[in-house]
Chains A and B, each alone.
Chain A
């Protein structure tokens, strides 16, 4: 591990203080669990002069439930999120995804906000300063070329958070605080398809909370069934080679609702297109294979991990097939 540079750390107890402290030190960064940021600082990818620690802000630490929605504070830990019964009841995929992040010790201090704002990852980027310098850096940071797709001008570093696709199933919204006050927007709008700059946050903005409305199936008031699964070489620690969240409802043997979201295969998490085509279909083997194939074509993984993209595309489809089969 490389050495940690000296930094000033602030520990505000309100969102407003956090935003103003950050405003006073524009080269600073918000710090929550630190499991992503501190590693990147040690590697010289990030070089902030100060850190604004947000886990002491009560508003950001709470999960609150009302009759029609749940609000999750940005600094709620992944362990807390995965163990929350209301979340598990209404948004099973969200609880599962939170429980699948990295390993138990990461989940103990890693937060949902941190997981949603995770930097994109690439095997040519998540390396030491010496390594990246020896490789002439890359498009994402300090360099001119992309080693994944030399000749291109687009960065393919993959978004690798587990929780985002699960929240996308439920049209979650994020609440953002910044120098100009607070705003809300769909979670999907937090992201853009650019590995270099995948978050739409403006300078100094902080993800305060996630609001997610309880979703029922189109034919009953029951919570919609959902599940999350990720592919990884090891059953712990690893980021997703591909992560798949599925929400599905079935009535009379036929699909009435189907949504599938992906992570780990492109610079942003996204809802797969064309899932409405399956409404009214019976969940037979042919249907499941068609779901698999449709997901496969949308999972455009590139060589951003040591596992070949060929597998990551195929396994994304396979996981969608497997999860859909399990909900049937």
Chain B
């Protein structure tokens, strides 16, 4: 394909709606998820779980289970070399409980057997003697003076107490025209990703090597924790990430089921398949903690916020997990959205006898944002200000550094507000909605990856390999975990755009530790920003190689080569070389082309202020969102219908508008579940909600039309200007919903989820109050 037509132009891949590159496998059912791997010799792995919420393990006798015909392995903590955890400073969990169980359902032992009936029978034969201990299911109970410590090294059951006092809060409050407080309680919620947890582990007894396919967002962390738990060399383990049915943070840390699959496979010296039930997936938890927030805000008559003073108590569950990060985010991420300078924060992360919480989409930011946006909405009403006006009175101007030293290089919140206001016809409809109908709005933001990695090794944040061989196809090798969010598509787009070639030239191979470069994984919306930039870097390196080859062949200087993607030429008069011809030239004397690209954050984004936890929240770029929610409330039953949502999301350059729209709608929808119906409930630590009936994820009937406005306030450091797209518009749904209900019914909801029973109580209280004041008058 060589031509001298004048209209040769590079193929555009960025900014173009693109179907996801792994779509065909998923829509045809060919995609293999962890539970889809099966073979004749695969054993069934099943887990024995603690019936007690808090108990010492006196004795475990597995002899009867081991003697049962068909049982190939039984494992307990004795088979574990070490503890594990996601934060290097808080690795206090064991794949199988050691010495003590701390929540109902915690894994105690596991078996591998020839079939499920034998495996279940073996579990029933394992004898565990427990000594029950007092158990604490609320943060308040766990913090009581006489409470027993869940972990010796965490006195008072405080995982972490954090505080900061920035600016001058007292002076800010003194300068305020209006000070109001709110007391907010938000239920614990789970991700409920479509695919329950599973792992398929193959042990090669001859070579003493393990290959595992876990359902994870973080194959690298799973790799590290497998070697630590199993006492194996890192190099003896291969982690291959299969297709993943969603994560939303439930798999941003290694899960027991991943480790148990490895332990069982080694002990059975074979292949073991561990597939958790939905109940077990709920027990594994790692969702968003129940939180109690008290917040006080000072405001000038014009809506300017003068000070914010707040506390957050999180019920973290039985182990550390991400807890320290979550409670730090709950404080630090009050910044970055508005121009606020005086903030005092006190946070407590509490250990309780409930399943461990984790990092849920919008990590740490959601409940704080709910409290803040509801409070300033009420204050706006009281001051006679429009909710949009009060937000506009507090906008940042980029570039800037926040009071807690977070870098804000790009800022599209003003444009988000304009879009949401216009699209919802707010100005003409607000206040004129008629009985039982209302409009509410709120704003939110999120990071584009944490600037400092949890495991500081000195390596770049992201590394991409590109390989081109004689067939002239481009193989993109990445460790970044495609979990359904579209990361492999974005990388292919970045490489295709940089080279100007069609995306069909590119094959993405993701997350096989034997093949692909290391990546920290898919969490905190880091992949598009960091791995996207590494992809561009790699593609530029490949382009330089190809241009040099084209220059040789065309006998011109490299700087005179015009690279048009599929055609390289010296000028318009030149017939040029096809991509394939350039590749053939580049291979001469060199063989297969392999290039690398990397990405690193800049130190200015690391958060330099000298206070504890200051780095948390540091990012290269923030996304911004504003949304308007329209509701109708049934006055008989207090059921809320969300009629429509208008959401503007500033993701910088929208690399793939189709995927951005899907991510934003998904975020709004997930926020809706948390706002309206989803919550965990426990009976003395037993999960009442561990199924799809009692944990109420919205159905398609509850799903409103969600109109998305993509705002492109490009970030100077983003890949083609792009920023985060998959989390930032979650948290503004919650306050926008309760603000809309306040508009419709005149009641302020502070407890989430706002189920009809809670709203009915608010409405009845209001009716009683009106009656009482009528009598008084």
Chain A residues in contact with chain B, CB under 8 A?
1-3, 5, 103, 123-124, 126-128, 130-131, 133-135, 147, 231, 233-239, 305-308, 310-311, 314-315, 318-319, 321-322
* B117, CB-defined interface residue at 8 Å: yes
Kindly identify which residue among B49, B637, B691, B696 contacts A231, using a CB–CB cutoff of 8 Å. B637
Assess the A322–B636 pair: CB atoms within 8 A: yes
* B683, CB-defined interface residue at 8 Å: yes
Contacts of A5 in B (CB 8 A): 117
Report the bound CA distance from A233 to B279 in whole Å.
20
Among B289-297, B465-473, B753-761, the stretch that binds chain A is: B753-761
Kindly identify which residue among A1, A3, A103, A236 contacts B117, using a CB–CB cutoff of 8 Å. A3
Assess the B637–A128 pair: CB atoms within 8 A: no
Assess the B702–A235 pair: CB atoms within 8 A: yes
Contacts of A231 in B (CB 8 A): 637, 639, 756
| Besides the known contacts A234-B701, A319-B636, 16 further A-B residue pairs in the complex with CB atoms under 8 A apart | A1-B277, A3-B117, A3-B120, A103-B699, A123-B688, A126-B693, A127-B691, A133-B51, A134-B51, A134-B686, A233-B677, A236-B699, A237-B692, A305-B694, A307-B755, A310-B757
Contacts of B701 in A (CB 8 A): 234-236
Contacts of B700 in A (CB 8 A): 236
Q: If the complex has contacts A314-B760, A319-B637, are A130 and B699 also in contact, measured as CB distance less than 8 A? A: no
Kindly identify which residue among A126, A127, A239, A315 contacts B637, using a CB–CB cutoff of 8 Å. A315
Report the bound CA distance from A134 to B686 in whole Å.
8
* B212, CB-defined interface residue at 8 Å: no
Contacts of B692 in A (CB 8 A): 237
Report the bound CA distance from A273 to B484 in whole Å.
55
Report the bound CA distance from A134 to B132 in whole Å.
13
| Nearest opposing residue in chain A for B123, CB measure | A130
Pairs A-B, 3 closest by C-beta atoms: A311-B757, A235-B701, A134-B51
Report the bound CA distance from A127 to B278 in whole Å.
12
Chain B positions 727-757 with a Cβ under 8 Å from a chain A Cβ = 755-757
A301 to chain B, nearest CB (A): 11
B51 to chain A, nearest CB (A): 4
| Nearest opposing residue in chain A for B51, CB measure | A134
* B690, CB-defined interface residue at 8 Å: yes
Q: What are 13 sample pairs from A and B whose C-beta atoms fall under 8 A apart?
A: A127-B691, A131-B686, A134-B686, A231-B756, A233-B677, A234-B698, A234-B702, A237-B693, A237-B699, A306-B681, A311-B760, A314-B760, A319-B637
Chain B residues in contact with chain A, CB under 8 A?
49, 51-52, 104, 116-117, 120, 277-279, 636-637, 639, 677, 681, 683, 686-694, 696, 698-702, 755-757, 760
Contacts of B681 in A (CB 8 A): 306
Interface centre among A124, A308, A315, A319 (most CB of B within 10 A): A315
Assess the B755–A3 pair: CB atoms within 8 A: no
| Nearest opposing residue in chain B for A147, CB measure | B683
Contacts of A319 in B (CB 8 A): 636-637
Report the bound CA distance from A238 to B691 in whole Å.
12
Tally of A-B Cβ pairs under 8 angstroms: 82
Contacts of A131 in B (CB 8 A): 279, 686-687, 690
Assess the A308–B757 pair: CB atoms within 8 A: yes
Report the bound CA distance from A126 to B694 in whole Å.
10
Kindly identify which residue among A3, A126, A233, A321 contacts B696, using a CB–CB cutoff of 8 Å. A233
| Nearest opposing residue in chain B for A237, CB measure | B699
Report the bound CA distance from A319 to B683 in whole Å.
30
Contacts of A237 in B (CB 8 A): 692-693, 699
Assess the B694–A306 pair: CB atoms within 8 A: yes
Assess the A128–B279 pair: CB atoms within 8 A: yes
A132 to chain B, nearest CB (A): 10
Contacts of A322 in B (CB 8 A): 636-637
Interface centre among B116, B681, B693 (most CB of A within 10 A): B693
Report the bound CA distance from A310 to B755 in whole Å.
13
Assess the B756–A128 pair: CB atoms within 8 A: no
A60 to chain B, nearest CB (A): 28
Assess the A311–B698 pair: CB atoms within 8 A: no
Interface centre among A3, A236, A306 (most CB of B within 10 A): A306
Contacts of B689 in A (CB 8 A): 306
| Nearest opposing residue in chain B for A5, CB measure | B117
| Nearest opposing residue in chain B for A134, CB measure | B51
Report the bound CA distance from A97 to B561 in whole Å.
73
Report the bound CA distance from A124 to B686 in whole Å.
10
